[in-house]
Structure 1
Amino acid sequence: MSRPICKRCHYPIKTCVCNAVSKVNCQTKIYVMQHPSELKAAKNTVRLAQLCLPSIEVFIGEEPDDFKSIKNLPPENTFLLYPDDNAVNIETLAQKDKQQINLIILDGTWKKAYKLKMKNPWLTHFKTLSFANLPENQYIIRKSKRSDSLSSLEAMAYSLEVLENIDTQALYNVLNKMMTNFIKN
């Protein structure tokens, strides 16, 4: 017999996070390119971000045809959050460049994010952003071998804090609720 699932957060009722959800209103439009293997992952933080961010769109796939809407975004105000050699530190982004940003997030393990980037060479049309002052990783239930690892939700939260100077505690609240439920159950 299957467990009852919450219709809003899509977690089992026993681990529902809805009482920790509140909206974060922002100007930045977030586009997530999600690797298909992340869709059903119990620890996927994009699902949590979707509960809090009205300005997020998630596209699932690997191939260029899966991301046509993202491909056609204007390059002058669209950035890929990815730490490559040409990346601009988000903290030093000029104020004029912070107006109405489209932010692309690659969701998956580092290996899968790299694969998404390589399979979609059109991403090179967009400038890349990275973090100079990497916040501490709070996502303790998923381990990474890389010291510069954040969950997708944490990367979104920090980006919004820097770009818009807004309070993103609501994102961390829902993340903490999910982690607490995961550890308890």
Structure 2
Amino acid sequence: MTQKPAPHCVDRLRLQCKHDSKRPFLARGANAIRCSHCLMAEFACFCHLRKASPSAVEFILLFHRDEIHKPTNSGRLIADLFPQDTHAYLWSRTEPPKALLQHLETKHDNCTLLFPNTETAQRQGRQQRLFDQPINKSDEKHTFIILDGTWKQASKMFHQSEWLKQIPHFEISSESQRSFLVRHSQHQMQFATAEVTAMLLDTLGHQQQSQRLLDYYQAFNKQCLISRKRGNDDTI
């Protein structure tokens, strides 16, 4: 029997949210018997593909409440592969976790929020950060905040969080997105959290880590499809 991986930050956050919740999270496939680690139906478990390694940068996954329990959430794949360099928190517009604020305080100018340079951001005068040089100028890894939710949710998280407005944000250029699509994807300019992060790593010059994450995401998608077909579209 395959040994299950140790819980990481997203696993612990999910358990804490479950403990704190006043009602259960019920979605399509809620009655499926699932692996408690990868969240797939047991017959589609892909825990054996999880191979942890260091990342060139640090990640802070900021989850929308609706995302943390979804088996189809891809943000957790980042923690699967880079558990020692990933932190996970639940987003709040007005009451961000104290641990997160303390974490951000230690980062000073070594932290960037990954989000498009929207017209609203420009009106608010939010600083856009450009990476035309290697970002890890010191021994401390640069930290990227990844907003994990639907586009609508992520936009709300970005624009309504006063406590995030002092942090520069970074937009992956449309040229880089098109290049990434040509090399790796068949769909239009719509990306899952894991794909956006793989694109970020690729843009920063960490192609090997980018490819590992993308390969893992594609395996994850395959197992999701297996679950759906085996469960007559009711598993995931």
TM-score, scaled relative to structure 1: 0.81
C-alpha separation between the residues in 2 aligned to 1:28 and 1:42? 26
Counterpart residue type for residue 167 of structure 1: Q
Segment drifting more, 120-129 vs 155-164: 155-164
C-alpha separation between the residues in 1 aligned to 2:205 and 2:155? 27
Superposed, which structure 2 residues align to 1:80-119 within 5 Å? 80-84=113-117, 85=122, 86-90=127-131, 92=132, 94-96=133-135, 99=138, 100-119=141-160
Q: As a proportion of its length, which structure holds more strand?
A: 1
Counterpart of 2:89 in 1: which secondary structure?
strand
1:51 shift after superposition: 1.2
Aligned 8 A contact 1:89 1:129 in 2: yes
Number of corresponding residues: 178
Percentage identity across aligned positions? 20
1:41 aligned partner = 70
2:45 aligned partner = 16
C-alpha separation between the residues in 2 aligned to 1:96 and 1:139? 27
Aligned 8 A contact 2:39 2:71 in 1: no
C-alpha separation between the residues in 1 aligned to 2:171 and 2:36? 35
How far does the alpha carbon of each residue in 1:77-118 deviate from its partner, in whole angstroms, 9 at most, with x for none?
10000111453344x3x2256652010011111110111123
1:47 shift after superposition: 2.1
1:172 lines up with 2:214 in the alignment: yes
The gaps in structure 2 that reach 5 residues or longer are 1-29, 230-236
TM-score, scaled relative to structure 2: 0.65
The gaps in structure 1 that reach 5 residues or longer are none
CA-atom RMSD, angstroms? 2.7
* Larger RCO, structures 1/2 (Cα 8 Å, 6+ apart): 1
C-alpha separation between the residues in 1 aligned to 2:212 and 2:66? 26
Distance 1:35 1:139, change over 3 A: farther
Counterpart residue type for residue 49 of structure 1: I
Counterpart of 1:171 in 2: which secondary structure?
helix
Q: Specify the structure having the higher radius of gyration (Cα).
A: 2
1:4 shift after superposition: 3.2
How far does the alpha carbon of each residue in 1:120-152 deviate from its partner, in whole angstroms, 9 at most, with x for none?
112111111111211229677xx8xxx543211
Counterpart residue type for residue 176 of structure 1: Q
